[in-house]
Amino acid sequence: MIVVANLHKTYSTGLGKKGKKGKGKGNGKGDGNGNGDVKALNGVTFRVNKGEIHGIIGPDGAGKSTLFRILTSLLLPDEGPSKATVDGYDTVKDFRQIRQIIGYMPGRFSLYQDLTVEENLNFFATLFNTTVKENYHVIKDIYGQIEPFKKRRAGALSGGMKQKLALSCALVHRPTVLFLDEPTTGVDPVSRQEFWEILDRLSEQGITILVSTAYMDEANRCTRISLMQEGQFMATDTPKGITESYDELLWSVEGERMPALLAELRAHPDVKTAFAFGDNHHVTVRERLSVDALKEYLTGKGFNKVRVMPIEPTVEDAFMKASMEVLNGNE
């Protein structure tokens, strides 16, 4: 179980109040005091239950990695009334205990690329005073897929195989909580699917999993998700609950000259938002606008082959709506 209450983290740019805004981790905006410091986490509060797969959904720079580093005791939060515990252990006071009960896959491949698959796994088992043989039952479903390559150097593995090795190393000491920071970034679709099937099985074994991703389609694989932007949690619910809370009229628009079509949609006074979404555009509109009226408007602008239809929202639609609200509120 993970419990987080009012978590804050600010990175100092070292420029002082008269310095220009510097670049740093997190959202890239100042902290509001005119000193250019970067507010990476801003009052994050949430709870992950035992055996749950909880997804943190957000773009690069949202603060996901900062959150993971604090929860794994690798980074101190700002001083104040914030609180973060993992299986009852405080991330600041009980960091030694936390490091014994968690498995962590950082955003970048961090194993020893000059060591073989087998050597990496044995090394991490030794760090936790255990052996691969003792805990083989924990990793057999994962390691079994890469065991034929156990003599191959880790740096020579494919992206999917590297992630399976990293997950095996994170599990070899039988952790109760697993932290996975964008584990499928850069991995092919088949390996992504296999990876999530592995996570489902680990969840069934009672392992608590906190996973971050920038892939919106992976949100539906989670028990619950939190939408994150600029160091804030905008919403936390089941994927179904997130989409059901979407309260806008949403239409799909498809036609020729899609970039020009998007610009024309954004210029319409009754179109509230318009975003490219795969092969079509998703638009939110005011209630007074009808499908036929929008078609007529676009035809008059030279778009003769255009299709407009009401659609059900996705998690990505909900994320875009919440992000716009946060961005507009922070201006």
Domains of the chain, each with CATH number or no CATH = 2-243 (3.40.50.300), 247-312 (3.30.70.2070)
Residue 35: what pLDDT?
60
Tell me if 64 sits within 8 A of 175, measured CB to CB: no
**Contacts made by residues 69-74, CB under 8 angstroms, sequence distance 24+:** 70/7, 70/9, 70/41, 71/2, 71/4, 71/179, 71/210, 72/98, 72/99, 72/102, 72/104, 72/179, 73/98, 73/99
**215 Cβ contact list (under 8 Å, min separation 6):** 184, 192
Q: Provide the token pair at 155.
A: 């740096």
In this predicted model, what pLDDT tens digit does every residue of 293-306 receive, in sequence order? Answer: 999 999 999 998 89
Largest CA-CA distance found in the chain, in angstroms, rounded:
73
Residue 28: what pLDDT?
46
Lowest-confidence region among 5-19, 56-70, 122-136, 206-220: 5-19
In this predicted model, what pLDDT tens digit does every residue of 12-54 receive, in sequence order? Answer: 876 655 445 444 444 445 554 556 688 999 999 999 999 999 9
* Beta bridge partner(s), residue 135: none
What is the rounded distance in angstroms from the CA atom of residue 220 to the CA atom of residue 88?
Answer: 28
Computed on alpha carbons and rounded to an integer, the radius of gyration of the chain in Å comes to: 23
- In this prediction, residues 276-280 reach a mean pLDDT of 91
Tell me if 105 sits within 8 A of 180, measured CB to CB: yes
Does the structure show a pLDDT above 50 at 235? yes
What is the rounded distance in angstroms from the CA atom of residue 7 to the CA atom of residue 323?
Answer: 20
